[in-house]
């Protein structure tokens, strides 16, 4: 079998899974079903030798804010990426896939790409690999292959693929007749009964040269800016930053609209081994496995005489109790709680829009702010002060920095910190503290082999994250809140 390069897309925001999924930390990086994140599960599913399949190191496309999250989560599961391409801004799936194809073709004229989102659940991995094997035969004949999911119910949240003929028992690829937009309930029921319609999973398999040729034929306006963005990309530590100027000229468009709905060489591999894009809390409820009363509890949650409900606390310090609930989803975090009828799962994005309108930070910002050195969370914020808990990984270091508007007090509560304040460097251990005056050049490091945790109290006229000047940084970040 030829080598397959997984191309994993992980730049989405997943607003329908608010409050757990937010723009600053979307659902693919969150443990939704078990201890692994969806991104980690996707990478593991497409790694190493799997039967007759051989996967190469994955190529990842993501945004700048997530680049260190990607590397950290891959490191946790023992996977080294082949390349991490940084998109200067989100331009949808078509430019991202074309950029990956150009990058891979330059390294292998026969490169085969398996493009997959990073936020899907595929319980039967062996069945999925068998479907990939069936798709390879079509790829060798120059086909652009997509994977269609056998519907289990009349779903209105997915687009559909209409097959040119009934799939046979072998599961071989079938020619595609047409794409169908998300239907209403009546149309979805008719398609389910027809047996020639599959859910559009947004997973693709093709040779890099074939998809590049398809872009040249069906979406030629994308070719020049994306090619320029790849050819003038800049290496940054272990990342490859696509050039911002040409990238901004690429149309914001999906691969379906740009190429797939126009191409005449498409084939579909039917897949019925279980699949979900976890597009709402109702999907999380189904995939997690309700008990005999149809109830799913997660975290510090308790259900009393409830039916067909999801009760989930994602805060170790917040007990969520449901009594007599029916068809309810209740999800609690430190800073936000969602309570809704299960039938309104697709309307959660309306809550995000409403919160944005009122200027609530919970609409987009996750309680924990993840950085390459670890993470922090705000415990209390006032008019002229803020209290944070800061977690620094072993061997990690924050940038050498200063602030215009605030001073800081640090109290180490776990581990040992190496602290720099202007010309002084010293070790600060548990129950010791240090004061950082306004304007002082400072840094904290964790020289130990266990995590270091400290409480930071900021005081001053402004305590925003963008009040920072970086002088040195081992992660090569620039200025600004995240650099």
Q: 368-472 sits in which CATH class? A: mainly beta
Q: Which of 217-226, 238-247, 275-284, 330-339 is predicted least confidently?
A: 275-284
User: Which of 170-184, 216-230, 429-443 is predicted least confidently?
Assistant: 170-184
Question: What is the Cα–Cα distance from 280 to 32, expressed in whole angstroms?
Answer: 11
The alpha-helical segments, DSSP class H, found in 388-439 are none
Q: Which two tokens stand for residue 386?
A: 């803020």
Tokens representing 374 are: 């670890």
- By the 8 A CB rule, do 41 and 31 touch? no
Instruction: Give the start-to-end residue ranges of the domains of the chain.
Output: 3-271, 281-356, 368-472
Cα distance between the two ends of the chain: 42
pLDDT tens for 269-285 read 999 888 988 889 999 99
Angle at 80 between CA 20 and CA 38, to 5 degrees: 20
> What's the pTM?
0.88
Mean pLDDT of 422-426: 95
How do residues 69-83 score in pLDDT, each as one tens digit? 999 999 999 999 889
**pLDDT for the residue 483:** 65
pLDDT in tens, 195-232: 888 999 999 999 999 999 999 999 999 999 999 999 99
pLDDT of residue 482: 75
Q: Which residues of 405-416 are buried (b: 16+ CB within 10 A; e: fewer)?
A: ebebebebeebb
* pLDDT for 346 beyond 80: yes
The DSSP symbol for 242 reads: P
With CA atoms as reference, report the closest residue to 474 among 385, 423, 400, 390: 400
Provide the CA 303 distance to its chain's centre, in angstroms.
Answer: 30
Question: What is the dihedral angle through the alpha carbons of 429, 432, 437, 439, rounded to the nearest 10 degrees?
Answer: 20
Instruction: Classify domain 3-271 by CATH number.
Output: 3.90.550.10
Of the candidates 183, 180, 159, 157, which has an alpha carbon nearest to the alpha carbon of residue 16?
157
């Amino acid at each position: 079998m030829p080598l397959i390069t997984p191309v994993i897309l992980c730049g989405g925001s997943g607003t329908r899974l608010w409050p757990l999924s937010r723009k600053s930390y979307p659902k693919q990086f969150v443990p939704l079903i078990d201890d692994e994140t969806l991104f980690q599960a996707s990478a593991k599913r497409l790694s190493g030798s799997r039967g007759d399949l051989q996967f190469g190191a994955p190529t990842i496309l993501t945004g700048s804010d997530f680049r260190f999250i990607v590397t950290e989560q891959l490191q946790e599961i023992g996977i080294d990426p082949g390349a991490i391409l940084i998109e200067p801004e989100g331009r949808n799936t078509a430019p991202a896939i074309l950029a990956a194809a150009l990058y891979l073709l330059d390294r292998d004229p026969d490169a085969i790409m398996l493009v997959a989102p990073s936020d899907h659940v595929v319980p039967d991995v062996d069945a999925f690999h068998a479907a990939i094997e069936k798709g390879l035969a079509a790829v060798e004949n120059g086909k652009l292959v997509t994977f269609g999911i056998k519907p289990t119910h009349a779903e209105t949240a997915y687009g559909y693929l209409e097959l040119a003929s009934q799939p046979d028992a072998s599961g071989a690829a079938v020619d595609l007749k047409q794409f169908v937009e998300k239907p209403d309930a009546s149309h979805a029921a008719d398609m389910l009964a027809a047996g020639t319609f599959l859910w559009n999973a947004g997973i693709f398999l093709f040779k890099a040269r074939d998809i590049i040729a398809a872009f040249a034929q069906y979406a030629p306006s994308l070719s020049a800016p994306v090619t320029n963005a790849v050819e003038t990309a800049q290496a940054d530590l272990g990342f490859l930053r696509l050039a911002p100027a040409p990238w901004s000229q690429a149309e914001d468009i999906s691969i379906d609209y740009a190429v797939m709905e126009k191409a005449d060489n498409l084939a579909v591999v039917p897949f019925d081994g279980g699949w979900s894009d976890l597009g709402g809390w109702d999907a999380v409820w189904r995939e997690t496995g309700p008990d005999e009363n149809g109830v799913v509890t997660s975290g510090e949650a308790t259900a009393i005489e409830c039916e067909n409900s999801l009760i989930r606390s994602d805060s170790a310090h917040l007990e969520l109790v449901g009594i007599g609930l029916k068809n309810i989803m209740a999800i609690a975090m430190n800073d936000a709680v969602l309570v809704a009828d299960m039938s309104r799962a697709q309307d959660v994005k309306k809550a995000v829009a409403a919160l944005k309108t009122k200027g609530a930070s919970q609409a987009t910002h996750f309680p924990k702010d993840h950085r390459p050195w670890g993470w922090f969370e705000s415990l209390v914020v006032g008019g002229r002060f803020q209290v944070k808990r800061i977690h620094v990984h072993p061997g990690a270091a924050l940038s050498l920095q200063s602030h215009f508007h605030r001073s800081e007090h640090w109290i180490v509560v776990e581990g040992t910190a190496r602290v720099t304040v202007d010309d002084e460097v010293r070790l600060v251990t548990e129950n010791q503290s240090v004061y950082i005056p306004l304007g002082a050049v400072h840094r904290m490091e964790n020289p130990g082999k266990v995590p270091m945790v400290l409480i930071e109290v900021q005081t001053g006229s402004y305590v925003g994250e963008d009040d920072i000047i970086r002088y040195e940084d081992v992660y090569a970040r620039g200025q600004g809140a995240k650099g």
